[in-house]
Amino acid sequence: MTILHKTLSLSLLLTSLLSANGLHAESVATKIIEITLGDYRYMPANILLDIDQAVVLRLVNVDAFTPHNFTLEDASDGLDVNVDIPAGDSVDVHLMPLVAGSHVFYCRNKLWLMDSHRDKGMVGALTVIPAQQASQQAQ
């Protein structure tokens, strides 16, 4: 293959990549995952995130009187969250998962002399999928 051919195919490749990006601009926008908090549960309780993909967790507390919380402790890979969600309110949490792996999240609320919300079942798992697995999933 001559240099001219190589340059030409490279520029064609770039053009098609750029136009593909243009077409998919909407889907590349930050993904929003809605998690409902209520009745001492997270729904869904198992969250899958793609590595290096910014995401918004929209935490919606549907309980009328009970405040909840979302705690995820892993400062090493940018997943360090501790937010309170008042009854009937919602909070957006922006995450950028940088390391593949699985993490537990839970509600740290507890009334005096009562079981903690975590003990009542308010716990879930957030799993960050490596890039290779994520692209296989998309196919």
Dist CA 139 CA 137 (whole Å): 6
Q: Which residues bind Cu ion (CB under 5 A)?
A: 68, 107, 109, 117, 122
CB-nearer residue toward Cu ion: 83 or 99? 83
Give backbone dihedrals phi and psi of 100, rounded to 5 degrees, phi first: -70, 145
CB-nearer residue toward Cu ion: 103 or 117? 117
CB of 57 to Cu ion, least distance (A): 15
Say if residues 47 and 127 touch (Cβ distance below 8 Å): yes
Cβ burial 67-100 (10 Å sphere, 16+ → b, else e)? bbbbbbebeebebebeebbeeeeebebebebeeb
Which helix (H) or strand (E) is 137 found in, with range? helix 131-138
CB of 46 to Cu ion, least distance (A): 18
CB of 68 to Cu ion, least distance (A): 3
CB of 127 to Cu ion, least distance (A): 21
Dist CA 33 CA 55 (whole Å): 7
CB-nearer residue toward Cu ion: 97 or 118? 118
CB-nearer residue toward Cu ion: 95 or 107? 107
